[in-house]
Chain A
Amino acid sequence: MRNEEENNQDVEWAWVDYVEGDVEPEMKQDLQNLLRLSSDSREVVSDLHWTKEMVKSLDPAHDEFLEKWDAKASLEKILKMCQTQERPSSARMEASGSFSSSNDLQNSKNLRISCSKYSKAFSNRS
């Protein structure tokens, strides 16, 4: 037997899912109907949006902060450090059978184009 608290929690969770756009179409329709009829529901949804926006504004990793970061220098440092490491071996990987998606990838023409574009860009840069 479900108690009132559990039912309330279900309703609250449904509103969170609604705000996140993560509800089944039928449920979405029900919630939208409820929103039209109930000012309390509208208040809940508005509060959830506000809460999310306010949390978002507190992101410690904001873009202005990252402006001080030299991404290119960091990339070069990483690559230099990786050069001293043992390179990953495809033979070992294939033996473990863990890369099952490789066949799918070979069939992807767009992907090949996209990757060659990136590789070319990188060669030009270096």
Chain B
Amino acid sequence: MAQRPVNEGEETLMKADLRLIEEVKQGNQASFAILVERHQRTMMKAALRITRDLTAAEDVVQETFIKAYQKLNSFEGRSSFKSWLYQITLNTARNKIRSYRKENLSIEGLVLSTEGHMEAHLHRASVFEMLKSEIDGLPEKQKQAISLRVFDDLSFKEISEIMDCPYDTAKANYRHALLKLKSKLEIHPEFKLMKDKGAYNINESRGTFVEVES
């Protein structure tokens, strides 16, 4: 199966990251600041998807960059710096969740703390509730693959680097997840209804369905 080539923009960014890493090793702190600036938002999103809590995600991102700084020597450049950071972020976030659990802090509480109008909309739409629960119920690797692909729009090459698995495995996890979710949606009466009406589109934000003028 064809692997999507790394596009020119991505390649330039990857090379620029490597250059900056070299500069950091020469003692240039400003270069590290640029690296943080470039990647902190993406890592914040990745952390949020696991912790579902802004403060916890912020802690994760800070810890991630400090670890990255400390371990810069162990970065071998086999994967992109972004993929490497992702790995650290995901591991740190998972550890954070574990420690929250140990402290008897309810994960449900963390989820609720993110509530806003998004949650309100979701509760109104049973199809989204079902989908959310199906995503939560996916095996960890499938969940990770779908999150990295759909939320972060990463290539399968990047996903395989982050998940530390072969390209085909990353892709297989994604296919299984997407097909599983599709099969659950297909039998949901509301999904069928939405599709039958045809002239509906998913609002970019928060899973609200809006009518599209034809």
Known A16-B175, A65-B116; contact A82-B151, beta-carbon cutoff 8 A: no
Q: Is B41 in the interface zone, CB < 8 Å from A?
A: yes
Q: Is B46 in the interface zone, CB < 8 Å from A?
A: yes
Tell me the complex Cα distance, A93–B22, Å: 10
Q: Is B91 in the interface zone, CB < 8 Å from A?
A: no
Interface string of A81-98 (1 = CB under 8 A from B): 111011111101100101
Tell me the complex Cα distance, A57–B114, Å: 15
Which residue of A21, A57, A71, A118 contacts B41 across the interface (Cβ within 8 Å)?
A71
How many A residues, CB 8 Å from partner?
66
B170 nearest CB across to chain A (Å): 11
Which residue of B20, B178, B207 contacts A48 across the interface (Cβ within 8 Å)?
B178
Tell me the complex Cα distance, A79–B37, Å: 11
Q: What residues of chain B lie closer than 8 Å to A104, measured between beta carbons?
A: 15
A101 nearest CB across to chain B (Å): 6
Q: Is B202 in the interface zone, CB < 8 Å from A?
A: yes
Interface string of B52-66 (1 = CB under 8 A from A): 101001100110011
Q: What residues of chain A lie closer than 8 Å to B32, measured between beta carbons?
A: 79, 82
Which residue of A69, A75, A85, A92 contacts B70 across the interface (Cβ within 8 Å)?
A85
Tell me the complex Cα distance, A126–B30, Å: 10
Tell me the complex Cα distance, A52–B33, Å: 35
Q: Is the CB of A54 within 8 A of B202?
A: yes
Q: Is the CB of A23 within 8 A of B178?
A: no
Q: What residues of chain B lie closer than 8 Å to A22, measured between beta carbons?
A: 1-4, 156, 171
Name the residue on A nearest B74 (C-beta). A98
Q: Is the CB of A118 within 8 A of B34?
A: yes
Within 123-140 of B, Cβ neighbours of A (below 8 Å) are at: 127-128, 131-132, 135
Name the residue on B nearest A43 (C-beta). B195
10 contacts across the A-B interface (CB closer than 8 A): A16-B178, A54-B185, A57-B205, A61-B48, A74-B58, A78-B65, A88-B24, A88-B25, A88-B72, A90-B22
Report B's interface with A, CB cutoff 8 A: 1-4, 12, 15-16, 18-20, 22-34, 36-37, 40-41, 44-46, 48-49, 52, 54, 57-58, 61-62, 65-66, 69-70, 72-73, 75-77, 114, 116, 118, 122, 127-128, 131-132, 135, 146, 149-151, 156, 171, 174-175, 178-179, 181-182, 185-186, 191, 194-195, 202-208
Report A's interface with B, CB cutoff 8 A: 12-13, 16-17, 20-24, 46-48, 50-62, 64-66, 68-69, 71, 74-75, 77-79, 81-83, 85-90, 92-93, 96, 98-102, 104-105, 108, 110-112, 114-115, 118-119, 122-123, 126
